[in-house]
Amino acid sequence: MKKQVIECEFEEYSNASELSDIDKVLFLEAKRISQNAYAPYSGFNVGAAVRLENGKVILGTNQENIAYPSGLCAERVALFSAHSSYPKQKIESVAIYAYSKNFIVDEVVSPCGACRQVIAEYEEISKQAISVIMGSDAGVIKTNGVKQLLPFRFSSKGLKS
């Protein structure tokens, strides 16, 4: 037996104004669109903004449903929409912003496991890391590639015999 350690590298910003201009624009788009979330059950509004290689920005918000599992996270709404409209465009970056109608979000909000797996798929097909910029009013964190967030992800290699 050999113990192994995986490190997670990320950049921490005390607020969005410290981000580079291109990242700030994306993050502020995620923040703006979070107002449109359909989240009557959780009161937790999430906005996501996806930047493509061609510069286009695709937005999404969480969509809830009375049959709870039928809803979808903001990240996947934006990512699936981006890849549906522009299947050949590489995804460069995803920004996420969240706030609650019921309490102060005092942590940076990061994508759930299922959304990380979806980001990993697009990284794999484009052979390019996707940066993830995640935040709330508590601060902003940026990772270069979802590998930092999901080191033991399931990959297509797992399906090959």
Angle between helices 74-85 and 113-126 (to 10 degrees): 20
Helices of type H across 87-137 = 113-126
Which pair of structure tokens corresponds to residue 19?
A: 């981000």
DSSP string computed for 45-76: EEEEEEEETTS-EEEEE-B--SSGGG-B-HHH
Query: Which CB, 39 or 49, lies closer to ligand THU?
Result: 39
Residue 75 bears catalytic tag: yes
Name the minimum Å distance from CB 7 to ligand THU.
23
Query: Which CB, 64 or 137, lies closer to ligand THU?
Result: 64
Contact residues for ligand THU, defined by CB under 6 A: 39, 42, 44, 46, 62, 64, 71, 73-75, 111-112, 115
Let me know: does 77 contact 51? Beta carbons within 8 Å. Answer: no
Name the minimum Å distance from CB 129 to ligand THU.
19
Q: Considering 12, 18, 53, 75, which one is annotated as catalytic?
A: 75
Element at 132 (helix H, strand E) = strand 131-136
Query: Which CB, 21 or 106, lies closer to ligand THU?
Result: 106
Name the minimum Å distance from CB 161 to ligand THU.
34
List residues with catalytic annotation.
75
